Amino acid sequence: MNERKKNVMTNMRKKLFANVMIFFLIIFVCLSSFNLKVFASTNLYSSTNSILINLKSNSYKLIKTDTGKVKIEMDDFSNGVIPNKPALPGKVFNVLLPPLSTLKSVEIINETKEDLGYGYRVVETPPLISDSGPLSFDNENEDFSVVKTLETSDMRKWHFVRIRFVPFEYTEYNGHLVLVKDVTLKITFDKNNQVPESLLKDDVLDNFAKGMFINYDSAKELGYVNPASYSKTSTTGTSNQPTYLILTTSTIQTSHVLDDFIRLKSAFGFNVSVVTVDSNDIQNQKGRDLPEKIRNYLKSVYIANNIKYVLIIGSINTIPMRYCYPNPTYHDNSNGFDPEQHKIPTDYYYADLTGDWDSDNDGYFGEYGQDNIDLTPDVIVGRIPFDDALTVSNVLSRIKQYILDTTGSWKKKALLLGAITNYKNENSTGWDKTDGAAIMEAMWNDFLKPNGYTRTTMYEKEGLSPSTYTCDYPLNEDNVVTHWKNDGGYGIVAWYAHGLQNVALRQIWEQDKNNDGVPQRDDENPDINEMKWLPFISVNDAKNLDTNHPSVVFSGSCLNSYPENLNNLSASLLKYSCASVIGSTRESWGSAGWNSPDYSSNATIEYYTLKHYASDNMSLGDAFFKAKVDNANLPGTEWKTLANTYDFNLYGDPSLTSGQLLSPPVLDHFDFSVIRNQPVNTPFEITITAKDQYGNTYTGFNSSVTLSVNKGTISPTVTSNFVNGVLSNFKVSISDINPDVTITATSQDGKSGTSNSFNVNPVITTSSAGQGGSVSPSGNVMVDYGDSATFIITPDKGYKVSDVKVDGVSVMSNLIDNNDGSYTYIFNSVTSCHTIEANFAGNTCTITALAGQGGTITPSGTVVVNAGTNQTFTITPNPGYHIDDVKVDGVSIGAVSTYTFEDVVVNHTIEASFEREQIVIVLQVGQTSFTVNGSPNTLDSPPIIKNGRTLLPIRPVVEALGGTVSWDGTE
Ligand SMILES: [Ca+2]
Ligand SMILES: [Ca+2]
Ligand SMILES: [Ca+2]
Ligand SMILES: [Ca+2]
């Protein structure tokens, strides 16, 4: 590939079809089976440091192809051991070794061979291919050894070695073919005599072990102990139950959305525990980053705490997945590939706790051939990839709904969606057509139909090369959404298709533009491209599905679970409608022309997951991880197998089961609605709900319960009868003041439930005697137990605070003067009831009223006035006087005859002064008329001038001046 093309490809991958699946091709010919299933047997040496293992070949056929070459088909063996090399059958056997032993050697000590002669030309295993052509794959060091020791592996206590058996020897230059009918191996090891008993007793994944090891029957001789031989010494009856660990954030933990789910899991036999990523348990672990600390934590506790399931609740932003690099040469884009596609986020890192995921210590985890990862899980991991409590609560409710729904047969209905992911000889590659319908049909025939399932099928019916399988409806988005929504629910929805982060896609060979009979796909060049792409399910559809029957979904597509996009298709389905979704976080890898689970492929993981789930009575997580083990045990393992192992992740509950309830619902406990702090001796409402062992309302409870409190006395103590499991708005009161009070409801048969804790609080009763002011706050004031309480006593206008009594005792000396007439009183550490009473008195001012000589002021003297009222003064001069001036508080306001003080709030003075009148009498000599200040008047006799003097009659003059004249006859 030249540089330009590389860049073009890189850019192309960022576009719509950048992220479609890449395939490797395995030729397959369908043959009848001989059904001979015995592969191997085991004998033990008397020496306990080695064992003998006998590996047997199986029935086979040699089939001549059109080209004159020969295909070798062997029952239950896979083809395609090494890409680009002759396609010899192969199989990987897991050989159990003693616990914690060290493998020393694997020797062939006997072989039985049959010479098949010369001249065979065996077909080649197709190259590994992708959209951009065959990938270079360094298989120079691969060999066709009849026996190849792969690696040792650990699954909790189970320690084993994986051995590949290729039961043919083939010499290419002369076509010599030899069948190796069976081979006997001597496997030597050093035993470990320090195996902890806790490890030996561990039986959490024993269901995996069954059928996994060819020498499982010899486990006891190898040093494994049958767990059943241990007496269960637990007194609680729960210590041997597997633990369900929820790993989440403190936000989720403290939100209480986990409460019902924990009850549900407990009812299904788990010890449930919760750990948060910010806890010391995890933060104090060693590790380069948070994922490593989490994994080290899990490593430290999974055996001791009997942990089987780990449910991660949180997006990758809060609880990261581990980025892994299955192809160690794809750390960057130097190969023309988008490095993002080769940096695969996975939770498998938290499932395998025995491997060393960066044993070459270069910071790139999970590298094929360079890091000693271990393809067996030690705990079963699922994730609810959301951080907000409401979404998590909704998802947990739906999971619970799925588990507890025992109505109808919808859980045994399967919606099977098969798209075509590449056409035969697409781009002249010679690849077989890959029709998802073939995968759906295989699952249907092999385990769904035999286990009583029904199905609805939708396959590709458009284009020049539609699916040759018959189906119920053509595959398209309308049909998928309509039937998923309206058919009464599907327990399983499975598809195989191309995918992007938000859609699963159909690839349709729309037209043969150049009439060459070859399907041309060129996503960049529309003139050449003959393909059309259409979604058949997208994030927009997720809200429009059947939420009453939440499905278990297997998305056999690339990228649908892309975790950096929190609204990827899988997460959206989980968020809005489904119970659990398995999908791929990056490109996943398929084999072109897949039609058998014997080929390592994304389809193989899908096939085995649903097989184990539907027919092997396994939980979804067990089924899924077992399928990964199955897939990894197929020969031909290389980095793409690892990529598929990392790619597929479970969104949802790893312990999800489709089976029946363990027992019918019975009354299990009571739940209270949240009770807030309450005042003592004051009736308040409570609501109590009867719950069954699964956390659902137990509607069969219509009786009454006895109420009790941990502190104090509650009344009444017997409730009225529940209605359909609920007692609504029942009023109780509690007669003692205490913090942290709880109410417990107990049924006649001893089932109980306890409320949240709340305070029964003291009350401070306020009052004010008479009028004149107020106390704030007023009335009966509840004070939280032990808190302080502040009251402000404020007089009305014209009043003052005359006394304040607390519990009947004056506290005037303890008041805080606010300097505005109001006062503050503080109760400290209130733990009992109190009273506070305020008294007010009217307030007065004085006005000093003074009048000078020549008049009066009324009222006068010291005048007492109620504050806030008005007071009027009247100033009156004596005859012959007039008002000279009036001064209020020393300031002249002029010669007014009245003055009113308005809204008197302080003392005042008022002073009036007077002045004598001047009188002008005009007399004329000889005239009896005269004027007094201009007013005419009459004299008895006119003034006369006599002897040079002017004589006046005295009486009118004196009277004009305000006097009187009279005669005293005695003088
Ligand atoms: Ca590494
Ligand atoms: Ca490396
Ligand atoms: Ca492991
Ligand atoms: Ca063409």
Alpha-carbon span 312 to 319, nearest angstrom: 8
**For residue 482, what pLDDT band results from cuts at 50, 70 and 90?**
very high
Alpha-carbon span 266 to 275, nearest angstrom: 16
Q: Pick the ligand that lies closest to the CA of residue 156.
A: 3
Instruction: Identify the pLDDT of residue 23.
Output: 33
- The amino acid present at 404, given as its one-letter code, is L
pLDDT one-digit tens code per residue, 125-162: 765 554 444 454 545 556 678 999 988 999 999 999 99
Q: Pick the ligand that lies closest to the CA of residue 518.
A: 4
**For residue 496, what pLDDT band results from cuts at 50, 70 and 90?**
very high
The CA 356 to ligand 2 mean position distance, Å, reads 12
pLDDT one-digit tens code per residue, 204-227: 888 788 888 999 888 888 888 765
- List the one residue out of 221, 224, 226 whose CA is nearest residue 45: 221
Q: Are 124 and 85 in contact (CB under 8 A)?
A: yes
Alpha-carbon span 628 to 554, nearest angstrom: 14
Alpha-carbon span 36 to 38, nearest angstrom: 6
The CA 223 to ligand 3 mean position distance, Å, reads 19
Residue 355 has pLDDT above 70, yes or no: yes
pLDDT one-digit tens code per residue, 44-66: 444 479 999 999 999 999 999 88
Residues 378-405, mean pLDDT to the nearest whole number:
94
Residue 228 has pLDDT above 70, yes or no: no
Structure tokens at 836: 């506070």
> For residue 59, how far is the Cα from the chain centroid?
53
Q: Pick the ligand that lies closest to the CA of residue 522.
A: 4
The CA angle 495-501-507, to the nearest 5 degrees, is 50
Instruction: Identify the pLDDT of residue 169.
Output: 92
Instruction: Identify the pLDDT of residue 470.
Output: 97
Q: Could you report how far apart the first and last alpha carbons of the chain are, in Å?
A: 162
Read off φ and ψ for residue 10, nearest 5 degrees.
-60, -45
Residues contacting residue 824 through CB under 8 Å, at least 6 positions apart: 790, 791, 792, 793, 815, 816, 818
Q: Are 873 and 886 in contact (CB under 8 A)?
A: no
The CA 330 to ligand 1 mean position distance, Å, reads 12
Q: Which of 113-117, 428-432, 469-473 has the lowest mean pLDDT?
A: 428-432
Q: Pick the ligand that lies closest to the CA of residue 521.
A: 4
Residue 567 has pLDDT above 90, yes or no: yes
Alpha-carbon span 931 to 947, nearest angstrom: 25
Handedness of CA 275, 279, 281, 287 (dihedral sign): positive
Instruction: Identify the pLDDT of residue 131.
Output: 44
Query: CA 484 → CA 410, 473, 551, 569, 607, distances in Å?
Result: 11, 12, 9, 15, 21
Adjacent-strand bridge partners of 598: none
Half-sphere exposure (Cβ direction) of 895: Cα atoms closer than 13 Å:
12
Residue with tokens 């398995």: 582
Q: Are 595 and 28 in contact (CB under 8 A)?
A: yes
The CA 630 to ligand 2 mean position distance, Å, reads 26
pLDDT one-digit tens code per residue, 591-607: 777 777 877 788 999 99
**For residue 446, what pLDDT band results from cuts at 50, 70 and 90?**
very high
The CA 367 to ligand 1 mean position distance, Å, reads 5
The CA 515 to ligand 4 mean position distance, Å, reads 5
The CA 873 to ligand 4 mean position distance, Å, reads 119
Residues 869-883, mean pLDDT to the nearest whole number:
92
Alpha-carbon span 521 to 511, nearest angstrom: 11
The CA 363 to ligand 2 mean position distance, Å, reads 8
Q: Which of 167-176, 405-414, 515-524, 727-736 has the lowest mean pLDDT?
A: 405-414
Q: Pick the ligand that lies closest to the CA of residue 327.
A: 2
Residue with tokens 């809204």: 903
Alpha-carbon span 434 to 437, nearest angstrom: 9
What is the rounded average pLDDT for all residues in the chain? 86
pLDDT one-digit tens code per residue, 515-561: 999 999 988 899 999 999 999 999 999 999 999 999 999 999 989 99
Alpha-carbon span 366 to 373, nearest angstrom: 6
DSSP letter string, 86-149:
B---BEEEEEEE-TT-EEEEEEEEEEEEEE--S---BPBPPPBEETTEEPP---TT----SEEE
pLDDT one-digit tens code per residue, 5-59: 333 333 333 333 333 333 333 323 222 233 333 334 444 444 479 999 999 999 9
- The amino acid present at 165, given as its one-letter code, is F
pLDDT one-digit tens code per residue, 908-953: 999 999 998 887 778 888 888 888 777 888 877 787 888 878 777 7
**For residue 435, what pLDDT band results from cuts at 50, 70 and 90?**
very high
Q: Pick the ligand that lies closest to the CA of residue 366.
A: 1
Percent of all residues in the chain with a pLDDT value above 90, rounded to a whole number? 61
Residue 871 has pLDDT above 90, yes or no: yes
